[in-house]
Chains A and B, each alone.
Chain A
Amino acid sequence: MTGNEAMAEAAICAGCRAYFGYPITPQNEILEYMATRMPGVGGAFIQAESEVAAINMCYGASAAGVRTMTSSSSPGISLKMEGISYLAGADLPCVIINVARGGPGLGNISPAQGDYFQATKGGGHGDYRMIVLGPATIAEAIEMVMLAFDLADKYRVPVMILSDGMLGQMMEPITLPEPVDPASLPGKPWALTGARGRHPNVVTSYAIDPGDLSQINTKRQSRYHQIEEKEVRYRETETSDATIVIVAYGTVARIARTAVRMARSQGIKLGMMQPITLWPFPYAPLRTLSSRVNTILTVEMSAGQMIEDVRLAVADRAETPFYGEVGGLVTTPKDILREVKRNVS
């Protein structure tokens, strides 16, 4: 199974019963898989007229209480940003997969990590946050899609899987999780199901009175703080005796794992920290780590975006060099090892 198909099947396993999308390379397999799979489980599938329409269909389906997903790739995700802001503003759960590609503009269809800022720092308008998960392998992607639906429902927030063209297109043997029966999921008393025997439910992000909006936003921010406290996830590899540590997420983390093995075989004390949640970012664990190593090398397939979060965490406790590939070029373990050596000498 390709990563794209595996993420689509994982969504079905998680109880997703509404998918709306629009073709864009390199994520088409998700749309195509859902077109085949969704009718069989009694779910809704529409190839929408645009990414804008697709995310707004998600807004409607999610408001009606169903686990809902859309997917796209970078330029299409830009179009979805309006809808993501509305989802956040109306406290609606939704899972969005970004199979990221080279940018800006039309860029190209090669894997890239240039959408980190957009995913983790806002992207759409207004004071909102979105949980962002960065899988490095297909197995991780499956696990994270399952987790994404749970987190989205638990906190009533949109959750993004920030994947890339490499992960979406590659094939790996996988084990699928136990499917969740949507009927077994906790109820959503806020959902639009018809005002029968209860007061009407309203789903809106609109509050004309500044006092009201302030109150609503403050309440939402406190939920974000809860997420920051409870949901930070990361993985450390060979860090216990490391003098230099790579910070990398997604596809780069996968490549860097090989670099760590190569370095270790040459006697270099290299470790790695892989943020799993890009928001909330693992600031505290990275801060702790930075006080016992000399160098934290950030590697990205971008001109340097996550590096800003790394430097916030590390401050001047360690050196914070950066190595990046841009334009859809994929870095190699050899390239990373070269950068490591340059920074340990």
Chain B
Amino acid sequence: MSVNMDNMVKVFERPRSLTDAQFSYCPGCHHGLVTRIIAHTIDELGIQDRAVIVASVGCSVTMYEWFRCDGIQAAHGRACAVATGIKRVNSNLIVFTYQGDGDLAAIGTAESIHAANRGENITVIFINNQIYGMTGGQMAPTTLLGQRATSCPDGRNAQLAGYPIRFAEVIAQLDAPVYVTRQALYDQKRIMAASRAIKKAFQCQIDGKGYSLVEILTNCPTNWRMSPVESNSYVMNQVVGTFPLGDLVDRG
């Protein structure tokens, strides 16, 4: 059967903001999904030639290789300070950081909180997969109680390692942030909601409103020792119990 392409409407394509470089993520990892959503958002908002990616340290260390946008690699935890420096000298740029839980909520705690508290007009994408992926599965500040990691082989014990930190809630206590939300990607509905949240966060910056944080509960099939499907169920059934979904601040 021959298909007449003239009558077809393209409803899905590779985002123009993505390069042809192959992702270095493991199969089934949500990182690739978020990367794609961000690229799609950049296309939709028409900001490819104004966007600056601040990559952090972790699995997304070479984030800038996948975008047809200017990019910079920040030292571990310092992405929000780097983004601050860029945005303060060129407010026309749309600057966003992409950071994992170790980067944003452990080593970068000070930079992350103070950029938010100053109300820097930047967008922070926070990937919370409750584990250090790139270094091989150590405990993260967001690791659930009882969850095993290579540096807490018997599971996280609150007496020794404290509790999983709800960073979006910490940021939501501040007066300056305009949009703080927690999203997930375990089903289609959640993916659509996360996409809307990311778009809204970028729109806040474009409109000059100020700081926004999108925390996304993601998986790590490799270090969780789960199949991608199992990991999605785990986020839905376990992780959300500790990290409730939804908007925490919406002054946009």
Which residues in A have some Cβ–Cβ distance to B below 8 Å? 17-18, 20, 44, 46, 48-50, 52-54, 56-66, 68, 82-83, 86, 90, 192-197, 200-206, 208
Stretch of B26-34, B44-52, B183-191, B198-206 contacting A (4+ beta carbons < 8 Å): B44-52
Q: Which residues of chain B from 44 to 77 have any CB-CB distance to chain A below 8 Å in the complex?
A: 48-52, 54-55, 61-62, 64-65, 67-75
Beta-carbon contact of B69 and A64 below 8 Å:
no
SS class of chain B's interface: helix, strand, loop or mixed?
Answer: mixed
Min CB distance, B22 to chain A, in Å? 14
Min CB distance, B108 to chain A, in Å? 10
A182 and B93 alpha carbons, distance in the complex (Å) = 19
Beta-carbon contact of A46 and B88 below 8 Å:
yes
A60-B83, A202-B72 known; A17 and B110 CB under 8 Å? no
How extensive is the interface on chain B, given as a class? 35 or more
Beta-carbon contact of B73 and A205 below 8 Å:
yes
Beta-carbon contact of B111 and A53 below 8 Å:
yes
Contact of A18 among B52, B81, B88 (CB under 8 A): B88
A46-B118, A83-B75, A202-B70 known; A53 and B81 CB under 8 Å? yes
| Residues in chain A near residue B227, CB distance under 8 A | none
Beta-carbon contact of B92 and A56 below 8 Å:
no
Contact of A46 among B51, B65, B84, B113 (CB under 8 A): B84
Q: Mark B102-133, 1 if CB is under 8 A from A, else 0.
A: 00000000110110001000000000000000
Q: With contacts A56-B74, A90-B73, A192-B72 known, what are 12 further pairs, Cβ within 8 A? A: A18-B89, A50-B110, A56-B75, A58-B85, A59-B82, A60-B84, A60-B87, A83-B75, A90-B72, A201-B70, A204-B55, A206-B62
A195 and B93 alpha carbons, distance in the complex (Å) = 10
| Residues in chain A near residue B78, CB distance under 8 A | 52-53, 56, 59, 83
Contact of B70 among A54, A61, A193, A206 (CB under 8 A): A193
| Residues in chain A near residue B7, CB distance under 8 A | none
A62 and B72 alpha carbons, distance in the complex (Å) = 11
A-B pairs with beta carbons under 8 Å apart, 11 shown: A53-B78, A57-B85, A59-B74, A60-B86, A63-B86, A64-B86, A90-B73, A193-B93, A194-B51, A194-B93, A204-B73
In the complex, whether B2 has a CB less than 8 A from a CB of chain A is: no
A44-B88, A192-B86 known; A200 and B93 CB under 8 Å? no
A82 and B108 alpha carbons, distance in the complex (Å) = 13
By beta carbon, the residue of chain A nearest B110 is A49
